[in-house]
Amino acid sequence: MFQEVKHRNGQYTIELELLLEVPADYIERALLDFDRLPELNPAITSVETMASPKPDTTRVRTHIHTCFWFRCIDLDHVEDVSRLQPGLIQAVTIRELSDFETGFSQWEIRPLDEQTYIHFSSGFDPRQDEVPLIGPMIAKYVIRNEAMQTYENIEQRYRNEIQNVSPR
């Protein structure tokens, strides 16, 4: 597993490589099930899907409430999300509708033996004045933890679902 969060010139980037004990198609469905995103990432408090001007793309507004130890912030994030091909999802921030100057995310998801390999990369530049007050070190810690919790929650949801399936 590889994890890296960086901060440079106001922009945060995160790159993760990990293996999950979950089928690749399940992971894709979980990431694209926008209504259930708050179950995966507790910082996401609400989700709204909107009409997108692009075909094969869903415009998604998420409201994020996250706390950095002693300070909490609220951010609205609007992205155009596309499944470019099986195993490849991309999201691009819509600056005019978001509390972010820039933003992108990409998920590469593929089966690897009995596991699924995920390569997640993301970069974003929040506009919020509060973010500089908490400092990049604390922000990087929270960003990494929230990302890892998302994947742990996907794995946990999958385990719960397969345990609840009774044999016929």
Mean pLDDT of successive 10-residue stretches along the chain, which has 168 residues = 86 94 97 97 96 92 87 92 97 96 96 96 82 69 89 95 74
Helices (H) and strands (E) in the chain, counts: 4, 8
**Region for 113 from its dihedrals, namely left if φ exceeds 0, alpha if ψ lies in -120 to 50, beta otherwise:** left
For residue 1, the model assigns a pLDDT of 76
Do residues 121 and 143 touch, judged by C-beta distance below 8 A?
Answer: no
For residue 139, the model assigns a pLDDT of 77
For residue 40, the model assigns a pLDDT of 96
For residue 10, the model assigns a pLDDT of 81
Please tell me the pTM assigned to this model.
0.90
For residue 167, the model assigns a pLDDT of 59
For residue 133, the model assigns a pLDDT of 56
For residue 134, the model assigns a pLDDT of 62
| Closest among 137, 157, 151 to 5, alpha carbons compared | 137
Dist CA 80 CA 102 (whole Å): 13
| Closest among 83, 154, 94, 167 to 124, alpha carbons compared | 94
